[in-house]
Amino acid sequence: MGNTAILVLVVITALGFDFTNGFHDTGNAMATSIATKALEPRVAVALSGVLNLVGAFLSLAVAATIASGLVSTKLVTLTVVAAGLAGGITWNLVTWLLGIPSSSSHALIGGVIGSTIAAAGGHAVLWHGLVSKVVLPAVLSPIIAAGVAATGTYLLYRISRSLTDRARSHGFRIGQIGSACMVSLAHGTNDAQKTMGVITLALIVNGTVPAKSNAPFWVILSCALAISLGTYLGGWRVIRTLGKGLVEIESPQGMAAESASAAVILLSSSFGYSLSTTHVATGSIIGTGLGKKGAEVRWNVAGRMATAWVFTLPAAALVGAGAEALAHSIGATTGVVVDLIILAAVAGFIYWRSRGSKVDHNNVNDEWTGSVAPEPEPAAAA
Amino acid sequence: MSWINLSALWKIVVFGLLAGAGLPALFAIGLRALAWPSGARVQTAGAGAGGGGGADSDSDQLIGGNVLGLIIAAIIFLAILAALGWGIFEVYQIGHPVTKK
């Protein structure tokens, strides 16, 4: 049966997206801990991977939003879901190459919405759900996170001012391990959910499970594994931008940023808001720059990110719409296969491009000189 | 149908501040208690808990050696862990609405 073949392809693509989601977002949880050397880079990504796995099982509220809250499950087809995923993955890979911590969630949601509009028209999109559960949280969450992180930073420096500098940074490095773990856990509760939601959407569309269903267990498990594997691989390019590019971070700031991110993400997950963990983490890091006297926020880096954020939904939507149009013109299963072959080719090309300016656990902490990939000098900066 | 769920928003802000800024602040207080110097102030030698000779002004020594400080710090750190555990439990509860028939 053709449907089953496409369904399998969609599930594989969705897990592929989850994987890119993982390595794109390792930085959200671990960038500040790696930057302050609270954790060894490779230990950090391993820890984050495991905790993402746990977090994925912790809450299913966001999966429900994605599965039935954004597009009309009656008007969407499997091809639409596949095309939407293609849009999300493409945008994730492009921003990863550029080292921009953009939102995987918006990439995914944008892709699915674009392909839905291309296939069925604007009325198939549940605009109210989109605005109230995605767009508004996207705007508000970084601001709230920045406020919480600035408050935390101010309090931490104020309370700990009687300690010597070295004792203070030692103490908060220990605290950072805890707070970074909480962010990884929170990331699992929010981001792993999104792919679960999309696979559930595909299952609903295909009639495999009834509408408004929760994610079946095998979906939860496979998504949890895919995202933690991706996290373990580590998106070193994005980690570098977040940890070194935005603000020069000390350990009290790192702890404040991570605590703020974890709190905001976990709270929002419980309410079913599929917010972008990336936006929250970035907001928090900027907040720590605002909350400490004399700290400098590199607004040009922040501006570049914000630009990418604005473009994420529409850009992924365009790719998703294009993929849907292409698949539709070819027709049925072949169309989806052609889409995915093109997607694989694009992914391969981007991977090949990334080899030219490699960022990994060895040079992730090198001095920020305005570019994602450090100068290829053998001597590591002090 | 409202666009913003105000009751969710204020909860996120208030609990976000309590957990996201309050808990690390509590941790900082714990660190400070931990660093309280023991009664005999600058006597570097003979201090009980890991005093050693490292009382110079740029040490990364965290433990000051005051017993009361140690106890307060331990209580604070345990309270933080308890708060985290409780928070995770709450998230689990909310995220898994009882749907068993």
b/e per residue A285-303 (b: at least 16 CB within 10 A): bbbbbbbbeeeebbeebbe
Whether residue A259 is predicted with pLDDT greater than 90 in this model: the reply is yes
pLDDT, chain A, mean: 82
pLDDT reported for residue B75: 92
Q: How high is the pLDDT of residue A381? A: 40
- Tell me if B35 and A162 make a contact (CB, 8 A cut-off): yes
Give the pLDDT band (50/70/90) at residue B43. very low
Is A236 part of the contact surface with chain B (CB cutoff 8 Å)? no
- By C-alpha distance, which of B37, B25, B28 is closest to B70? B37
User: Is residue A261's pLDDT more than 90?
Assistant: yes
Residue B1 pLDDT grade (very low, low, confident, very high; cuts 50, 70, 90):
low
Confidence of residue A309 (pLDDT cuts 50, 70, 90): confident
Q: Chain B within 8 Å of A159 (Cβ-Cβ)? A: yes
Q: Is residue A96's pLDDT more than 90? A: no
The predicted structure's pLDDT at residue A315 = 87
Q: Do A266 and B87 touch (CB under 8 A)?
A: yes
- CA separation, residue A168 to residues A151, A173, A289, B60, B74 (Å): 18, 8, 18, 7, 17
- Is the Cβ of B92 closer than 8 Å to some Cβ of chain A? yes
pLDDT tens per residue, range A199-218: 888 888 888 887 777 778 88
Q: What percent of chain B has pLDDT over 90?
A: 20
Give every CB contact of residue A9 below 8 A, 6+ residues apart in sequence: A82, A336, A337, A340
Q: Is the pLDDT of residue B51 over 70?
A: no
More confident residue, A356 or A19: A19
Q: Is B101 on the interface with A (CB under 8 A)?
A: no
Amino acid at the residue A154: Y
Q: Is the per-residue pLDDT at B64 higher than 80? A: no
| Confidence band for B57, pLDDT divided at 50, 70 and 90 | low
Tens digit of each residue's pLDDT (9 = 90 or more) over A290-307 = 888 777 778 887 887 788
pLDDT digits (tens, 9 = 90+) for A139-174: 888 999 999 999 999 999 999 888 888 888 888 888
* Whether pLDDT at A379 is above 50: no
- The per-residue pLDDT for B58 is 61
The pLDDT, as a whole number, for residue A1 is: 41
What mean pLDDT comes out for the span A43-53? 87
Searching chain A, which residue's CA lies closest to the CA of residue B89?
A: A58
**pLDDT bucket at B23, cuts 50 / 70 / 90:** very high
Q: Which residue has the higher pLDDT, A331 or B45?
A: A331
Q: What is the pLDDT of residues A277-289, one digit of tens each?
A: 888 988 998 898 8
**Which of A61, A260, A269 faces B21 most closely, judged by CB atoms?**
A260
Q: Which of residues 55-84 of A touch B (CB under 8 A)?
A: 58-61
- Global confidence as pTM: 0.81
Q: Which residues of B touch A148 (CB under 8 A)?
A: 16-17, 20-21
In Å, how far is A322's CA from the nearest CA of chain B?
Answer: 30
- Average pLDDT for chain B: 74
Percent of all residues in chain A with a pLDDT value above 90, rounded to a whole number: 7
A contacts of B34 (beta carbons < 8 Å): 171
pLDDT class of A310 with cuts at 50, 70, 90 = confident
| 8 Å CB contact of A148 and B17 | yes
Interface test with A, best of B2, B15, B26, B31 (most A CBs within 10 A): B31
Mean pLDDT of B11-40: 86
State the average pLDDT over residues B40-60.
Answer: 46
Q: Over chain A, what HEC string results?
A: CHHHHHHHHHHHHHHHHHHHHHHHHHHHHHHHHHHCCCCCHHHHHHHHHHHHHHHHHHCCHHHHHHHHCCECCCCCCHHHHHHHHHHHHHHHHHHHHCCCCCCHHHHHHHHHHHHHHHHHCHHHECHHHHHHHHHHHHHHHHHHHHHHHHHHHHHHHHHCCCCCHHHHHHHHHHHHHHHHHHHHHHHHHHHHHHHHHHHHHHHHHCCCCCCCCCCCHHHHHHHHHHHHHHHHHCCHHHHHHHHHHCECCCHHHHHHHHHHHHHHHHHHHHCCCCCCHHHHHHHHHHHHHHHCCCCCECHHHHHHHHHHHHHHHHHHHHHHHHHHHHHHHHCHHHHHHHHHHHHHHHHHHHHHHHHCCCCCCCCCCCCCCCCCCCCCCCCCCC
The residue-averaged pLDDT of A56-60 equals 80
Out of A61, A152, A164, the one facing B95 most closely (by C-beta) is A61
Distance from CA of A46 to the nearest CA of B (A): 21
Query: Nearest CA of chain A to the CA of B21: how many Å?
Result: 4
Q: Which of A59, A151, A171 lies nearest to residue B95, judging by beta carbons?
A: A59
Residue B76 has, within 13 A of its CA and on its CB side, a CA count of 20
Which of A267, A277, A284 has the highest number of chain B CBs within 10 A, making it the mutation to test binding with B?
Answer: A267
- Nearest residue, CB atoms, A266 vs list B34, B60, B91: B91
Instruction: Mark yes or no for CB contact B91/A178 under 8 Å.
Output: no
Q: What pLDDT is attached to residue B25? A: 92
B76 inside 8 A of chain A by CB: no
- Phi then psi for residue B77, to 5 deg, are -65, -40
What is the per-residue pLDDT for A236? 79
The answer to whether the Cβ–Cβ distance between B96 and A59 falls below 8 Å is yes
